[in-house]
Amino acid sequence: MTLVKEVRPGRTEPEAVAVPARGRRAWAAAAALRWTALRLLALVVLLAAWQAVVAADVWPRVLVPSPADVWHAFVQASTVHDGVRGYSGHLLGEHLAVSLRRIGVGTGYAALVGVPLGLLIGVLKPLAVVLEPAVTFLRTLPPLAYLSLLVIWFGIDESPKIWLLVIAALPPIAAATAAAVRGVPGDLVEAARALGAGPVSLLLTVRLPAALPEILTGVRIAVGVAYTSVVAAETVNGVPGIGGMIRDAQRYNQTDVVIAGIIAIGISGIVLDALFKGAERLAVPWRGRA
Amino acid sequence: MPARTRRTLLLASATALVALTATACGDGADAASGGGKTQVRIAYQSIPNADLVVKNQKLLEKALPDADVKWVKFDSGADVNTAVIAGSVDLGLAGSSPVTKGLSAPLNIPYKVLWIHDLIGENEALVAQKGITSVKALKGKKIATPFGSTSHYSLLAALDEAGLKESDVTLVDLQPQDALAAWQRGDIDAAYVWTPTLSELAAKGGKVLVTSRQIAEQGKPTADLGVVTDAFAAKHPKIVDAWLEAENQAVELAKSDPAKAAESIGAELNLSPEDARKQLDQLVLLTAEQQQGADYLGKPGAPGALAKNLRDAAVFLKAQKAVDAVPDRSVFEKSLAVKELSRVVK
């Protein structure tokens, strides 16, 4: 995605100077179409390679199902068929919605705690000395390592899953916030101080807005981290939930359902990330300008 | 010049890496390697039966000095199935539910049941929190069990026997250790699990409502089975015979000198010999001769009742949507390795 974006301006600019506005727009549309076509082509090649591997019988069909099998599993999991609702009693969309809700709640709590924590770490040196190693410690822990502990402490229902996602999503937010606050230009701070701003109003009216773009990036990264952790969170009593569904399918060697679930996670992740980028553009339009 | 040497070095290491990867890939697919020795890859599980005696006392290694015996540990029969499909295991231990699943569509794994490692007795049971005294009283309660396991099968059989439907209770898919954590917090009302978690639940005030031995008496037995891939059995009949003899020898030892067998099992499971002995006693072990009985594997021309038990399990799995269709009884009868068994019983 980033690659495409970086390439585009370099190629459009020289011609864009010469052609009138209308022609430029048409050119941009054509370029967008071309890039979309390239993506579709890549997808077709991937599917063809997959089908070829299946047709060549390199691995048993049970281990590597064909694209059609996965599509069938996808349809079965998304519909009510002979009295069974989707997979494990819930539709694929419902599994995904429950997982997304957990990700949302977990990242939400993480942001509520992580942003103030990051602000304090960025501003108060003594606090940074104490807390920064702790944040790094948390960040390097794999979620599966502390899941069993969370189950012992918080049981098997919603709370251990939310806790796991909070612990996973908190460090990126806190780290990004702290770095952003430190990166606020000294001129801005000096100017505000000269105009008589106290430490609190300096933090809230100068440092926080200046750091906001970076904080939002931190939250976006945290959502990604929560996304990768949700399957771990749902290994214990995870149904409904997309991770629980994948685990159930794995238990019964239903590889097609596993792959359908993974694809559902990946696609919803792309959509969510794009939405987040759009929201970022709307919320902090000053981003990238001096 | 130095730049060129560096490039040569880089190229050499890259070539070496590719070669290494290629050999690593080839290794997994080829069963017969390791300097001309035949490789025997055995999947085992932490179940206190005679299989661990065979492993601990190296009975098979002693009987087959020319073979390269490899023991691989698995946590569930589903994982053993996956390993067999992937071609990384020749002989393996799996519960009767996963084996049924393996023999049915869509898996249709080409393997057969060679041995009954144990009949599940008191080592799997339904335990309930204080105040619940019968299976019937579980209506509306939350029960944990590892889905797809023999315990899951026995639990549904117990509910059915008590006149309860699956929808009358809330079933939670939990591994035994997670069930223990949930139990301590009071998150679940009952659990159908195996030892050692089972003993811990009972020690924490749990009441055993029904055991797998009782479920077996009601006509729904569960067992831990030994399977061998069709290809391996056809290619290496001598190794299969040696394996059967080793297993039989271990069972006979467990019967004649349980203390000694328990010592080996304890060493494998990190248990004291006393604890291992207690767990061993909860299982029913059968000698090769007993396994030829009509209730079990049977004899050539007269396949035993195990085929019917497996088919019953398939009916259960069909209701769980875990298999596509229930195979005929004849499919299961053909999957009992009675010919191999009769070769070693004199």
The token pair at B332 is: 């299961």
Q: Which residues of B40-76 are buried (b: 16+ CB within 10 A; e: fewer)?
A: bbbbbbebbbbbbbbbbbebbbebbeebbbebeebeb
Q: Do A252 and B78 touch (CB under 8 A)?
A: yes
Give the confidence band of A9 by pLDDT, cuts at 50, 70, 90.
Answer: very low
pLDDT score of A81 = 80
Residue A77 placed within a domain = no
- Specify whether A127 is located in the same domain as A38: no
- List, for residues A243-253, the tens digit of each pLDDT value: 999 988 888 88
Q: Domain with A116 in it: what CATH number?
A: 1.10.3720.10
A1 pLDDT more than 50? no
- Measured CA to CA in angstroms, residue B316 lies from A25, A212, B326 at distances of 63, 57, 9
- Specify whether A145 is located in the same domain as A54: no
The count of domains in chain A is 2
Query: What residues in chain A have their Cβ under 8 A from chain B's Cβ atoms?
Result: 59-60, 62-63, 84, 148, 151-152, 155-157, 236-237, 239, 244, 248, 250-253
Give the confidence band of A260 by pLDDT, cuts at 50, 70, 90.
Answer: very high
Which segments of chain B belong to CATH 3.40.190.10?
38-119+223-344, 124-217
- Specify whether A237 is located in the same domain as A190: yes
- Specify whether A52 is located in the same domain as A100: no
Is there a contact between A226 and A107 (Cβ–Cβ < 8 Å)?
yes
What ipTM does this complex have? 0.71
- Specify whether A239 is located in the same domain as A145: yes
- Specify whether A137 is located in the same domain as A246: yes
The token pair at B158 is: 């117990």
**B167 in reach of chain A (CB within 8 A):** no
- Specify whether A172 is located in the same domain as A40: no
* Residue A195 DSSP code: T
- Specify whether A261 is located in the same domain as A142: yes
d(Cα B85, Cα B78) in Å, to the nearest integer?
A: 11
A259 pLDDT more than 90? yes
Mean pLDDT of chain A: 86
d(Cα A210, Cα A243) in Å, to the nearest integer?
A: 38
- Specify whether A171 is located in the same domain as A214: yes
| Mutation for A interface: B85, B189, B204, most A CBs within 10 A | B85
- Specify whether A222 is located in the same domain as A267: yes
Instruction: Say which residues have a Cβ less than 8 Å from residue B210's Cβ, sequence separation at least 6.
Output: B125, B126, B135, B158
**B172 in reach of chain A (CB within 8 A):** yes
Residue A85 placed within a domain = no
CB pairs < 8 Å spanning A and B: 58
The superfamily (CATH) of domain B38-119+223-344 is Periplasmic binding protein-like II (3.40.190.10)
Lowest-pLDDT range of A7-16, A17-26, A136-145: A7-16
Residue A137 placed within a domain = yes
Give the residue numbers spanning the domain of A128. Answer: 92-283
The superfamily (CATH) of domain B124-217 is Periplasmic binding protein-like II (3.40.190.10)
User: Nearest-5° angle of CA A22, CA A28, CA A31?
Assistant: 145
Sheet holding B170-173, edge to edge: B170-173, B142-145, B190-194, B124-128, B207-211
The segments of chain B whose pLDDT lies below 50 read 1, 23-34
pLDDT score of A12 = 45
- List, for residues A262-288, the tens digit of each pLDDT value: 999 999 999 998 998 888 888 887 766
pLDDT score of A5 = 45
